[in-house]
């Protein structure tokens, strides 16, 4: 009796928080026998840091990632544990959405974890990965495309759709001002000042196998799914804010524009645990003053600034946070102000892959011509001479598992080096 009273009270205090969005991802690690380690990372946005802290009633469970003073605070709640092969929904009631024009009140943040063992990779699925800021803003007279980072640790095909149904949202009305494509791009077209205000965006991101596969649960029961059936389903929720019209929509004037050496959207970095990565970000705006860098990234990433428009994100992955053998999305935007208006740059996202991988030159993400260095170790008893095809296939499968496109070609050359192209 006492327990149920306590639970009710916890929910009530939690629903007082003003909610601004979430991304919940999960990663499969250390598959052993009939169990594996499931690492879940919840990123939650609320209107202030104190509100988010009251969310899970244990101190030190969540950590602040970043905040935009007076507007939002983003926190992460990382959690892991041993699981058996089973699929299930897991979710939380994140509270009431901030006032919004599409009339969404109670929030719902639920993820479907496909924890059954996949026949193609012989382990349970890891969810697709993405990142977003709790509040994305654009002036009402400007065009904006938000290309969400979509990345899948198993090399699966990723799609987005509007949330729908009782496991995904209580009120599901999508914002009238944004159009979402299945490839996870959201576009906003210049419109009248009548639409100014905040909108609650509630998307679902899903991963699909490239061919029909079997999923086996902990009782041994098997089901087959085609490439049209999704595996994990993660919520991607945020506030889209349409601001008053800007005097100009040209990036670099009022809206800040990124300059080199800011990494391109989709760029990848490879490091080991206990090594430190530094990402330098530079932006300019000739008609406004750049005030801050806003980001969403892993637990314990820090930001610093060395003057207006010069920023650095720094992170050291840690074993104690289970960061190893995982790809971590990092997203950022720069904000500027002029005559009490706020201007936000486009959103950029990069991926930091943490793990021990040997040297192979691989092609960079499709949009850049960057050369990426990857280290990969595949242990095999096959001889190089007689099993060239099998070894090439093993390397290819591993590269795809690490996020390269499924149509890459892998060739093992006579000098022992490996050539990869697409």
Residues 151/152/153/154 CA torsion (nearest 10 deg): -150
- Cα 317 from Cα 216, distance rounded (Å): 33
Helix (H) or strand (E) holding 399: helix 388-401
Residue 34 vs 356, nearer CB to ligand NAG? 356
User: Among residues 67 and 117, whose Cβ is nearest to ligand NAG?
Assistant: 67
- Smallest distance from ligand NAG to CB 279, Å: 7
Least distance between ligand NAG and beta carbon 9 (Å): 31
Q: Tell me whether residue 161 or residue 401 sits nearer to ligand NAG (CB atom).
A: 161
Least separation in angstroms between residue 69's CB and ligand NAG is 7
Choice between 47 and 291, CB closer to ligand NAG: 291
Give min distance, CB of 89 to ligand NAG, in A. Answer: 21
| Closest distance of CB 292 from ligand NAG, Å | 7
**Binding positions for ligand NAG, rule: CB under 6 A:** 161-162, 174, 179-182, 261, 270-272, 278, 280, 289, 291, 300, 312, 318, 320-321, 337, 339-340, 356, 375
How many H helices and E strands in the chain? Answer: 3, 30
Nearest CB to ligand NAG, comparing residues 106 and 337: 337
Which is nearer to ligand NAG, 31 or 273 (by Cβ)?
273
User: Which residue number, 117 or 348, has a Cβ lying nearer to ligand NAG?
Assistant: 348
CB of 178 to ligand NAG, least distance (A): 8
CB 203 within 8 A of CB 180: yes
Min dist CB 118 to ligand NAG, Å, is 25
Least gap, CB of 320 to ligand NAG (angstroms):
5
Task: Pick between residue 84 and residue 280 the one whose CB is nearest to ligand NAG.
Answer: 280
Q: How far is the CB of 321 from ligand NAG (least distance, A)?
A: 5
Distance CA 349, CA 27 (A): 19
Least distance (Å) from ligand NAG to the CB of residue 4? 35
- DSSP code of residue 293: E
CB of residue 174 to ligand NAG, shortest distance in Å: 4
DSSP3 helix / strand / coil % (the chain, rounded to 5): 10, 45, 45
Residues pairing with 278 in the sheet: 314
* 257-259 vs 277-284, strand pairing mode: antiparallel
**Residues 54, 203, 199, CA angle at the centre, nearest 5°?**
75
Q: Which is nearer to ligand NAG, 161 or 388 (CB)?
A: 161
Report the residue number, 60 or 416, with the smaller CB distance to ligand NAG.
Answer: 60
Nearer to ligand NAG, 10 or 271 (CB): 271
**What is the C-alpha to C-alpha distance for residues 19 and 10, in angstroms, rounded to an integer?**
16
Nearest CA-CA partner of 73 in 81, 82, 84, 62: 62
Instruction: Report the chain's terminal Cα–Cα distance, integer Å.
Output: 62
* DSSP secondary structure string for all residues of 82-134: EEES--EEEEE---EEPP-TT---B--EEEEE--SEETTTSSB----B----S
Q: Kindly report whether the peptide bond that precedes residue 261 is cis, defined as omega within 30 degrees of 0.
A: yes
DSSP-assigned letter for residue 170: S
Distance of CA 161 to the CA centre of its chain: 15
Distance CA 278, CA 271 (A): 11
Q: Provide CB contacts within 8 A for 70, sequence distance 6+.
A: none
Q: Are 72 and 19 in contact (CB under 8 A)?
A: no
């Amino acid at each position: 009796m006492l327990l149920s009273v306590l639970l009710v009270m916890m929910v009530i205090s939690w629903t007082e928080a003003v909610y601004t969005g979430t991304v919940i991802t999960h990663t499969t690690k250390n598959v052993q026998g009939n169990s594996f380690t499931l690492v879940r990372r919840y990123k939650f946005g609320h209107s202030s840091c104190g509100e988010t802290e009251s969310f899970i009633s244990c101190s030190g469970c969540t950590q602040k990632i970043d905040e935009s003073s007076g507007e939002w605070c983003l926190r992460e709640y990382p959690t892991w544990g041993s699981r058996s092969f089973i699929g299930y929904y897991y979710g939380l009631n994140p509270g009431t959405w901030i006032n919004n024009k599409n009339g969404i009140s109670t929030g719902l943040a639920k993820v479907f974890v496909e924890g059954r063992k996949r026949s193609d990779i012989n382990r349970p699925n890891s969810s697709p990965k993405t990142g977003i800021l709790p509040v994305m803003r654009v002036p009402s007279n400007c065009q904006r495309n938000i290309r969400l980072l979509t990345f899948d640790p198993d090399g699966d095909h990723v799609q987005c759709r509007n949330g729908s149904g009782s496991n995904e949202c209580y009120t599901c009305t999508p914002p009238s001002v944004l159009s979402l494509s299945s490839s996870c791009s959201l576009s906003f077209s210049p419109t009248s000042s009548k639409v100014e205000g905040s909108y609650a965006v509630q998307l679902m991101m899903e991963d699909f196998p490239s061919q029909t596969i079997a999923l086996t649960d902990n009782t041994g029961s098997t089901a087959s799914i085609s490439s049209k059936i999704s595996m994990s389903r993660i919520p991607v929720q945020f506030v889209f804010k349409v601001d008053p019209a800007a005097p100009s929509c040209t990036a670099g004037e009022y809206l800040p524009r990124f300059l080199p050496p800011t990494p391109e959207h989709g760029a990848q970095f490879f490091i080991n645990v206990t090594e430190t990565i530094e990402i330098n970000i530079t932006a300019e705006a000739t008609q406004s003053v750049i005030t801050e860098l806003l980001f969403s990234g892993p637990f314990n990433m820090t930001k610093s600034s060395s003057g207006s428009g010069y920023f650095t994100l720094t992170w050291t992955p840690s074993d104690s946070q289970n960061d190893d053998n995982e790809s971590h999305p990092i997203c950022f935007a720069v904000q500027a102000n002029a005559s009490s208006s706020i201007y936000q740059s486009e959103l950029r996202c990069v991926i930091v892959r943490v793990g021990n991988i040997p040297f192979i030159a691989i092609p960079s993400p499709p949009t850049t011509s960057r050369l990426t260095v990857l280290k990969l170790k595949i242990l095999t008893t096959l001889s190089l001479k007689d099993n060239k095809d099998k070894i090439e296939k093993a390397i290819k499968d591993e590269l795809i598992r690490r996020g390269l496109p499924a149509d890459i070609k892998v060739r093992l050359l006579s000098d022992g080096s490996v050539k990869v192209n697409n």
